[in-house]
Chains A and B, each alone.
Chain A
Amino acid sequence: MQELTKAIRKEARRLLESGEVDVVIGFTEGTLPLRAAPVFIRKAIDVDRLIWGPFCENNLARYLRGVRDEKVAIVAKGCDTRSVIALIIEHQVEREKVYIIGVPCQGMIDRRIVARRVPGEVLVAHQDGDEIVVEGNGFAMRLPRSEVLYRSCAACAHPNPVLYDVLLAEPVAVWAEDPYAHVREIEQKSAEERAAYFASEAERCIRCYACRQACPMCYCDECFVDHTTPRWIESGVTPAGQQAWQIGRAYHLTGRCVNCGACERACPTEIDLVYLNGKSSKDVWELYGFEAGIDVDKPPPLAVFLPDEEPNMA
């Protein structure tokens, strides 16, 4: 981790000093333990603020559209690079203007799982080998990384950057066996159980739209849920409104979602959003052989077709 932090700073300094880029998007220390915060570095003198660690959970591709007019470098994990590719496919970002600093990722730590495992408030946290060391008033614990990973990270199929201009470390081995295991588990339940699970998840939604704001692919200037003339869907915090929002949001990401899990991490009520997005990703993979954010030259699955494909629907 220390080596990666140094490598990121060195690369950022080179890019900013040479004028190759105007801004570097990366991570800096968060204000709380177990947190890292996204940061925009514009001057070489500031590069020492950049860090890398097990808490760099945000999908930084979210910020690319905001600096479209500048030359930008982005510190990118596997999922971030996939989102960059998805944005390039949708013509939201120009490849020439983005310099991708690829960082192989070992999975990010779910601060909520950590908080539930320890007896008090975490005051200090860092990584030591395969363990996360957390300390607070009167306790110090070592938690195995594999037990406190985000669910999306534990199921990650592409921890290594897919597209990059520089790769700062050797690629890591992929640990997930089946990225859609969670989806398959739900699919095998009966319709009543699926409906009950969906209802129980959706009813916690407070319509804050943090999932939308965290998502790199949710970039519509006006979200369908904000349309009022005519109103697309119910915007109130009612069961019908909550369910319609979750359907609309997750379905709108069909063939675009890279399963980074940023939505679920942003959700204040911890709704199982990965299970919804995973379904649409699994469908386009199984029906149309498409995996979002892998190939810059492959068009989105809902924009193309084959004349004689299944399902024919009728």
Chain B
Amino acid sequence: MSEWQPKIIIFLCQWSLKSDTEWTQRFDLPDGVRMIEVSCSGRINPLLLVSTLQHGADGILVVGCEPGHCHYKEGNYLGRRKFATLTSFLEYAGLEEKRVQFAWMGETDRGKLQTMVESLLSDVRRLGPIQELATRQVVMSTAQP
């Protein structure tokens, strides 16, 4: 068996890096990291995060706009409450909450995404492959499209 490669899913608010669209496209994601753009971080159902872990992701990063800078005025504030209660709950159940991380990102936070991804990757490498919740073997190509 080949060496284990962590699978990371990034849920990225489509507005959080708006002014840097080109930069996002050029952004060279590490192997095994996939980015999914969503309309707003506040619209992410916490169950989707549990579902993502079930479907084979080893780590999740949710990126939303900084408080006060939501395109829809209040989506990220609502998201903040959902994520706070979800991570607290996962920790309570003994599931490593570090697998699910959050970041608020402003238009000027150039480079923050890479730092967050690296930090999540190192956390997930330390924790190892997810075992509790994963139900499916997902084969994810490590090659970038």
Contacts and interface: CB of A to CB of B under 8 A. Distances in A.
**A and B co-occur in one complex:** yes
Interface of A: 183, 186-187, 191-199, 224, 232-234, 236, 238-241, 243-244, 246-248, 250-252, 254-255, 276, 279-280, 283-284, 287-288, 301-303, 305-309, 311-314
A255 B90 CA distance: 16
Given A288-B81, A302-B78, A233 B94 contact: no
Interface residues of B, number: 34
A197 B95 CA distance: 11
Contacts of A309: 80
Contacts of A244: 50-51, 54, 133, 135
Interface in B45-80: 46-47, 50-51, 54, 67-68, 74, 77-78, 80
A243 B85 contact: no
A305 B64 CA distance: 16
Contacts of A250: 89
Closest 7 CB pairs of A and B: A195-B94, A194-B94, A305-B77, A234-B135, A240-B135, A198-B93, A313-B102
- Tell me if A's interface is mostly helix, strand, loop or mixed: helix
B89 A279 contact: yes
B50 A248 contact: yes
B85 A302 contact: yes
B82 interface: yes
B94 A224 contact: no
A152 to B, nearest CB: 18
Contacts of B78: 302-303, 305
B142 interface: no
B93 A233 contact: no
B78 to A, nearest CB: 6
A283 to B, nearest CB: 5
B35 interface: no
